[in-house]
A and B are shown apart, each in its own frame.
Chain A
Amino acid sequence: MKHLIAALSLSVMPALAFAQAEQEPLSISFPTGAAAVPAEGLDTLDEAARLFRAGNPIVMIVTGGADTVGNAGRNLQLSVARAQAVADGLVARGIPADRLQVLGRGTTELPVDTSAGVAEQANRVVEISWR
């Protein structure tokens, strides 16, 4: 039985491997109201330093968000500040600033759809993606 399963996964593998060649975006979550990268986030920044190759001409997009607790205007500013903090962390690790885009999307396009005033960690996140 084990051999059958192994053989099956081998035939499926090539297709999976190709899809997985596209790396998942990295994300860093923030405590409520904070825009400084927390300690656990520093590990994710180091993960980025150990993932991004040199000579990479692609664009890296750093997108900040906020949950729906508090004023929308303040949340927009917060999301921008968070994204900038993460971008600064990437630059501090030698990832070139001239490849970065920094974006704050406020409380638009929430990863987890909530009504107003809901604290949701998954929404207080900065994502690092690239193309």
Chain B
Amino acid sequence: MSSRFPGVELAILIAAALPATAQEGQRAFDASDFGRAAESWRAEAAAGSADAMFGLGLLHDLGLGMPRDAAAALRWYLSAADLGHAEAQFNVAVMLDSGTGGPRETAAAAAWYSRAAAQGNLRAQYNLGLLYDKGEGVPRNRDLARLWLGLAAPQLRAAQDRLAVLADDPFARDLSPPVPLGGARIGSRAELAWTAPPGPGGSIFHLELVTPEGPVADLQTALSAVVLPAPAEGPLFWRVSRIAEGNAAYVAGPWQAIGDPAPPPPTGRMRILTAPGAAPFAAELATAFRAAGLPVEIGAAVAATSAVEHGFGQDRNMARDVASFLPGLSAEDARGAALPGRPPGEVTVTLVSEGS
């Protein structure tokens, strides 16, 4: 090998040293050499390849080079689904939905359809729309049916057709809490799914994803599943609430933990907006409240005076407790404010020190 191009030599050496990639099993499969495909894929699956796990699922599902075994297929699809493989998630959902390879479990099917649908899998979006239209495995919810079918409609004609004839649900009178369906972290993304019956007109979901220290994401959506970036390690918590029109009230679902072992879930949320002069004090305050179990976000103050605010009437007591804890303030200083988009349960503390 020439030493004029050391980068190329290195690349060749590295390529030669790598074990067979997922492509080897795929090539054997495409050539209908199912024995060889199984052998390659077993090695690749042991090394953690979700594609290989999915391939083994296919071989068992269809009885290619081996007897048909729906239960084994489901187990392999599940391994790949746990690693975030969208097609495997769809296949798991279909098998649970149809009771193939195991008992029929429509709620679990809905959870897996939701995760695949959030990743853009068209057939999962369509099937999830069907489940919401009929109320199978999830509460009947034509709003969610409409949204999921709507995502598939540009490419699936059947979704368009069904949308055209979809009935409307009457609006609910009461705000009901969302129910988590499932959540997982895969690498540096989180896949989260929940369900709910129809809400009052103008209500929306608010999704919180936090670490014990502070927020990762706050998202308002009408959908019932998302994929979003998340820290690759460390404890994570998520929760979905339903916010009434005009931020009049909210009802929160339960906190869910991701990652074992998990510390206790958050006891609240806090945001500290600080002027530069008050920054050291803000940092001390953040430490104290994190120790009390609240994820704390720190940002820059825009207001000219110190304040303790809550965006929802039902968080007044929490805000009063925070205000009475702060030097120079009392519980009476806590006030309600219009804070659209802020998470339910959050108290916002603005710190502007004298002369800053």
Chain A positions near chain B (C-beta within 8 angstroms): 21-23, 45-46, 49-58, 89, 92-94
Contacts of B224 in A (CB 8 A): none
Count chain A CB atoms within 10 A of each CB in B62, B95, B101 and give the residue with the most.
B62
Contacts of A50 in B (CB 8 A): 94, 97-98, 127, 130
A22's contact among B68, B122, B126, B158, by CB below 8 Å, is which?
B68
Contacts of B94 in A (CB 8 A): 50-54
Is the CB–CB distance between A93 and B58 below 8 Å?
Answer: no
Is the CB–CB distance between B156 and A55 below 8 Å?
Answer: no
Q: How far is the CB of A83 from chain B (nearest CB, A)?
A: 18
For the complex, is B346 an interface residue (Cβ under 8 Å from A)?
Answer: no
Closest to B97 in A: A50
Q: Is the interface of B mostly helix, strand, loop or mixed?
A: helix
For the complex, is B148 an interface residue (Cβ under 8 Å from A)?
Answer: no
For the complex, is B316 an interface residue (Cβ under 8 Å from A)?
Answer: no
Closest to B157 in A: A92
Q: Is the interface of A mostly helix, strand, loop or mixed?
A: loop
Counting residue pairs across A and B whose Cβ atoms lie within 8 Å, the total is 60
Q: How far is the CB of B224 from chain A (nearest CB, A)?
A: 18
| B residues 121-172 in Cβ contact with A at 8 Å | 121-123, 126-127, 130, 152, 155-158, 161
Chain B positions near chain A (C-beta within 8 angstroms): 54, 58, 61-62, 68-70, 87, 90-91, 94-95, 97-98, 100-101, 121-123, 126-127, 130, 152, 155-158, 161
Is the CB–CB distance between A93 and B68 below 8 Å?
Answer: no
Question: Given the known A-B contacts A93-B126, A94-B126, are A53 and B156 also in contact in the complex, defined by CB atoms under 8 Å?
Answer: no
A46 to B69, CA, bound (A): 24
Is the CB–CB distance between A56 and B62 below 8 Å?
Answer: yes
Contacts of A51 in B (CB 8 A): 94, 98, 100
A21's contact among B70, B123, B127, B161, by CB below 8 Å, is which?
B70
Is the CB–CB distance between B70 and A93 below 8 Å?
Answer: no
Contacts of A55 in B (CB 8 A): 54, 58, 87, 91
Contacts of B61 in A (CB 8 A): 53, 56
Contacts of A89 in B (CB 8 A): 158
A23-B100, A52-B94, A94-B152 given; name 10 further pairs at CB < 8 Å.
A49-B123, A49-B130, A49-B158, A50-B130, A51-B100, A92-B156, A93-B123, A93-B156, A94-B123, A94-B156
A94's contact among B69, B70, B122, B130, by CB below 8 Å, is which?
B122
Contacts of B100 in A (CB 8 A): 21, 23, 51
> 28 A-B contacts, Cβ less than 8 Å apart?
A21-B69, A21-B100, A45-B158, A49-B126, A49-B127, A49-B130, A49-B158, A50-B94, A50-B97, A50-B130, A51-B94, A51-B98, A51-B100, A53-B90, A53-B95, A54-B87, A54-B90, A54-B121, A55-B58, A55-B87, A57-B62, A58-B62, A92-B156, A93-B156, A94-B122, A94-B126, A94-B152, A94-B155
